[in-house]
Structure 1
Amino acid sequence: MSRPRELEDRLGAAEELTIVCHNNPDPDCLASAFALGRIATAAGIDERRILYSGDISHQQNRAFVNMLDIDLRLFEAEAVRNRSAGSLLAFVDHSVPGANNRVPAGTPIDIVIDHHPIEGVEAAFVDHREGVGATATILTEYVRELETDVNSALGTALLFAIRRETLGFLRGATRAEYDAAGWLHDHADTSLLRTLSTPSVTGATVDTIASAIRNRTVRGSVLISGIGRTSERDALPQAADYLATLEGVETAVVFGIVDDGIQLSARSTDARIHVGQVLDAAFGDVGSAGGHREMAGGEVPLGVFADYTKDDAQLFSIVEQVVTSRLIAELNLAEGSGS
């Protein structure tokens, strides 16, 4: 039996489905959850919910949710903890309880569909493909084989997610992404795709990116920039995307304090560096970090740092020293090579 048919059978035997997105979900996660919900509907599940935690603050992600009318709910611990015998718990675009999600570690998971490189994936049903460029690609295969009804909203969501996750098919794209995109083309609203691709940018986001540019330090082909405290969490990956395009820069890491944690975002075109492994090795012992060779992120609780001072400038000075030194050590950079 094929994986889509196996999933269909598993859903058909259930009465309820809870889909948990990872923290601060991106289009790949949201579109995949949207698609899995449609597959569950076709399988006869009437009770469905998509839960998320953190923020949907990136202007593209907000537009994505609003314009496609995706029904999301804030994470509810009770919905995960007190599930009935006929209820399934699913992860899309992430795999392990407690890693980039608020589900307690050790919680049994029924369904996992993901493409991120990570070890220790366990569930009753697992489709974990590290070689695929987007989780939305896998879900596109599922809706195609199962002949799920794909209206313009779902088609647009999946196609936009694949394009965004692969940076317009320039990062991590495989033949599977092109095949999925070709099929989705006839199901998507091209006008809406253009709108989603060019959302308005807030002044606060521009200010955060400007801070990253101002505070950059370059060591060889590696750029590191700390932006202090910000409310614009999603400006960090945007800043990393931009700084990685600077002449001579092959790897860019941007970090800042958001609420009660340190957020990191990294990009790399250096074939010698796997930024997901770099961030995991540098911060995995004190937080959650990882990702792909070209794109990665991480979050470290402020914890003991916050006990030193309540002054943001002093606090970030301490954070900057620790984060920078860990990155320098893990990337094997010479301390005196800054510019």
Structure 2
Amino acid sequence: MSAATELRDILTEGDELTIVCHNNPDPDCLASALALGRIAADAGIDERRILYSGDISHQQNRALVNLLEIELQEFDADIVRDREPGSLLAFVDHAVPGVNNHVPDGTLVDVVIDHHPTDDIEAGFQDHRDDVGATATILTEYVRELDTELDDQLATALLFAIRRETLGFLRGATAAEYEAAGFLHGQADRDLLRKLSSPAVSSATVDAIADAIENRQVFGAVLLSNVGRTSERDALPQAADYLATLEGVGTTFVFGIVGDSIQLSGRTTDSRVNVGSVLHDAFDDAGSGGGHREMAGAEIPLGIFADYTSNDRHLVDIVEQVVTARLLAELNIDTDKGDTQENEAG
């Protein structure tokens, strides 16, 4: 039995479906949730909801939700906790309760579909493929095999998600992404794809990227930078992507204070570096971190950092010192031995 058929059989046994996105969902997560909802509708589930936590702050994420009219609800723990028999719970683009989501540890999950490197997945149905470039690729395969109706909205969402997750098929793309894109291409709305690809950028995002450029420090082929405190969480991966294009740089980490937590984003084109492992090993004792070899993120509660000072500038300085020291230690970079080629912090 194929994964798509197994999934359909599980869904036909349910009366309602709650799809939980990971915190601050990106296009891959949102499009995958939309597709799973369509598959569930075909399986006879009339009551469906998509829940999310955090913010939809990246301009492309907001555009995806608004232009494609994806219906979302803010996460409600009661919905997850007080489920009746026949009420199914699904994760897309993440896999473990309490990890990058607000679902309580130990919660029974019925469906998990994910492409991130993850251990200890427990679910009634799981399709975990860390050898593909996007979760949307897996959902496209299901839509195709199950003959789910593919309208302009769904095709555009899935195609945009695959393109965005793989940076235009340049990062982590496999033959499966190209096959999925070929299937979706004819039905996708090209005008919407253009709008999604180049939405307006807020001044706060531009300011955060400018701060990352100004504060950069280069250690050999590794670049570290911070944006200080920002309201634009998604400016961090955008800054990391931009700084990764700097000549001579193979690995980039950008961090900043967002709300009551420290957020980090990592990128690499260096085959010797796994940024997912670096962030996990450097910060797992203090927060959560991980992802792919080429792209990853981490989140650390401010916690004790905030107890040191009420001065925001001092707080940023303390966070910069600690985060930088942990990253350099994990990367085995010893600045006392001359590993620092350039220090351009402003």
TM-score normalised by the chain length of structure 2: 0.97
Task: Give the match for residue 63 of structure 2.
Answer: 63
Task: Give the match for residue 110 of structure 1.
Answer: 110
Q: Which whole-Å CA distance do the structure 2 matches of 1:26 and 1:17 have between them?
A: 21
**One-letter amino acid matched to 1:203:** S
**SS of aligned partner of 2:262:** strand
Q: Which whole-Å CA distance do the structure 1 matches of 2:202 and 2:124 have between them?
A: 43
Structure 1: 4+ residue segments shifted above 3 A: none
Residue 317 of structure 1 pairs with residue 317 of structure 2: yes
1:124-273 to 2 correspondence within 5 Å? 124-273=124-273
Contact 1:277 1:290 in 2 (8 A): yes
Contact 1:219 1:334 in 2 (8 A): no
**One-letter amino acid matched to 1:273:** V
Let me know the Cα RMSD of the aligned residues.
Answer: 0.6
TM-score normalised by the chain length of structure 1: 0.99
Q: Which whole-Å CA distance do the structure 2 matches of 1:168 and 1:109 have between them?
A: 32
**One-letter amino acid matched to 1:195:** K
Number of residue pairs the alignment of both structures matches: 339
Task: For residue 216 of structure 1, report the CA deviation from its aligned partner.
Answer: 0.3
Q: Which whole-Å CA distance do the structure 1 matches of 2:172 and 2:315 have between them?
A: 37
Percent identity at matched positions? 70
Question: Structure 1: where are the runs of 5+ without partners?
Answer: none
**One-letter amino acid matched to 1:276:** G
Residue 36 of structure 1 pairs with residue 39 of structure 2: no
**SS of aligned partner of 1:6:** helix
Task: For residue 203 of structure 1, report the CA deviation from its aligned partner.
Answer: 1.1
**One-letter amino acid matched to 2:53:** S
Q: Which whole-Å CA distance do the structure 1 matches of 2:172 and 2:226 have between them?
A: 27
Task: Give the match for residue 327 of structure 1.
Answer: 327
Contact 1:265 1:296 in 2 (8 A): yes
After superposition, the C-alpha distances for 1:220-250 in whole angstroms (9 at most, x for unaligned) are 0000001111101110000000000000100
**SS of aligned partner of 1:299:** strand
Task: For residue 204 of structure 1, report the CA deviation from its aligned partner.
Answer: 1.0
Contact 1:276 1:295 in 2 (8 A): yes
Task: For residue 187 of structure 1, report the CA deviation from its aligned partner.
Answer: 1.5
**One-letter amino acid matched to 1:27:** P
1:68-107 to 2 correspondence within 5 Å? 68-107=68-107
After superposition, the C-alpha distances for 1:26-75 in whole angstroms (9 at most, x for unaligned) are 00000000000000001000110000000000000000000000000000
**SS of aligned partner of 1:187:** coil
Residue 25 of structure 1 pairs with residue 25 of structure 2: yes
Question: Structure 2: where are the runs of 5+ without partners?
Answer: none
Contact 1:32 1:135 in 2 (8 A): yes
